[in-house]
């Protein structure tokens, strides 16, 4: 399948962070392809590379199957340190738990929640680290594909790339800790927006799937990126 101008084999994503059954692997594949085909351009960061789509799968599974009942594959986790820290930051947040309660057992709703949450987090990190060449260089591989990494597995990474990832993980932890209120606000706003999208998808007498309905809600999604609300200021700020 062509994603971001690059051919990506959705059946051959990165190794999962969580222990996942073959049934759930197949279910995700059946869900993610039509989701990408819906051309959800407002969520292009979350759906742009093998790395980001693999992280969407991790978050989806944690929502769909209950994070507390799943186990992290420690061997795989060591291969993807940035992916692991982002997974932990999202799934340990209070608002993730609220959303998970709403979507547990609903595979489609869990997927949309996972895509939007990851999109917001990646956008926040992109804004935060765009001026930090070292950290941004490691982080951008989540959502920007380059020819030299299309066929590389983590075991083939250079020593410099591994060091860069370690530095990025440390920087992300520090940034979230130092801006804890803003990060919590980001997740809170994404929570509110998801609730809004869900209500829109179920308006009227006929309830429709939330997947195609997202195509018609570009305005509120675009507004979020243009003017993000934070708890530090009771107004929209850039």
The closest of 105, 87, 89 to 187, measured between CA atoms, is: 89
Q: Give Dmax (Cα) for the chain.
A: 58
Is the Cβ–Cβ distance between 154 and 71 less than 8 Å?
no
DSSP 189-215: HHHHHHHHHHHHHT-SSS---HHHHGG
Is the Cβ–Cβ distance between 169 and 177 less than 8 Å?
no
Does an H or E element contain 185, and which?
A: helix 180-201
**Structural domain boundaries, residue 202:** 2-237
Residue 94: Cβ-neighbour burial (10 angstroms; 0-12, 13-18, 19+)? exposed
Q: State how far the alpha carbon of 233 is from the alpha carbons of 178, 185, 194, in Å.
A: 17, 11, 21
Share of the chain above pLDDT 70, in %: 73
Whole-angstrom distance, CA of residue 135 vs CA of residue 172: 9
Three-state helix/strand/coil letters over 93-138: CHHHHHHHHHHCCCHHHHHHHHHHHHHHHHHHHHHHHCCCHHHHHH
Q: Which residue has the tokens 């243009």?
A: 226
Tell how many helices (H) and how many strands (E) occur in the chain.
11, 4
Pick from 6-10, 156-160, 177-181, 219-223: least confident = 219-223
Cβ atoms within 10 Å, residue 197: 19
**Which of 27-36, 76-85, 197-206 has the largest mean confidence?**
76-85
pLDDT category of residue 155 using cuts at 50, 70 and 90 = low
50-96 residue pLDDT tens: 899 999 999 999 999 988 888 999 989 989 999 999 999 999 888 88
Characterise 66 by phi-psi region: left (phi > 0), alpha (psi -120 to 50), beta (else). left
Characterise 5 by phi-psi region: left (phi > 0), alpha (psi -120 to 50), beta (else). left
Whole-angstrom distance, CA of residue 169 vs CA of residue 165: 6
Pick from 5-9, 22-26, 187-191: least confident = 5-9
As for how many domains the chain has, the answer is 1
Instruction: Look at residue 55 in the predicted model and tell me its pLDDT.
Output: 94
Whole-angstrom distance, CA of residue 140 vs CA of residue 121: 13
């Amino acid at each position: 399948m062509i994603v971001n101008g690059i051919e990506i084999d959705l059946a051959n994503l990165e190794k999962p962070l969580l222990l996942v059954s073959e049934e759930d692997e197949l279910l995700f594949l059946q869900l993610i392809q039509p989701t990408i085909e819906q051309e959800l351009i407002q969520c292009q960061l979350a759906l742009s590379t093998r790395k980001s789509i693999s992280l969407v799968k991790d978050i989806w599974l944690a929502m769909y199957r209950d994070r507390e009942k799943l186990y992290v594959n420690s061997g795989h986790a060591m291969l993807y340190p940035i992916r692991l820290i982002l997974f932990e930051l999202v799934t340990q947040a209070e608002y993730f738990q609220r959303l998970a309660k709403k979507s547990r057992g609903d595979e489609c709703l869990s997927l949309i929640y996972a895509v939007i949450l990851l999109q917001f987090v990646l956008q926040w990190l992109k804004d935060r680290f765009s001026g930090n060449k070292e950290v941004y260089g490691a982080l951008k591989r989540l959502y920007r594909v380059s020819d030299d990494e299309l066929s590389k597995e983590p075991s083939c990474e250079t020593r410099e790339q591994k060091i860069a990832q370690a530095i990025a993980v440390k920087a992300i932890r520090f940034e979230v800790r130092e801006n804890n209120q803003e990060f919590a606000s980001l997740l809170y706003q994404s929570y509110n927006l998801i609730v809004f999208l869900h209500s829109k998808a179920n308006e009227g007498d006929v309830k429709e799937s939330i997947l195609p309905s997202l195509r018609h809600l570009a305005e509120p999604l675009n507004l979020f990126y243009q003017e993000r609300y934070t708890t530090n200021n009771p107004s929209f700020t850039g």
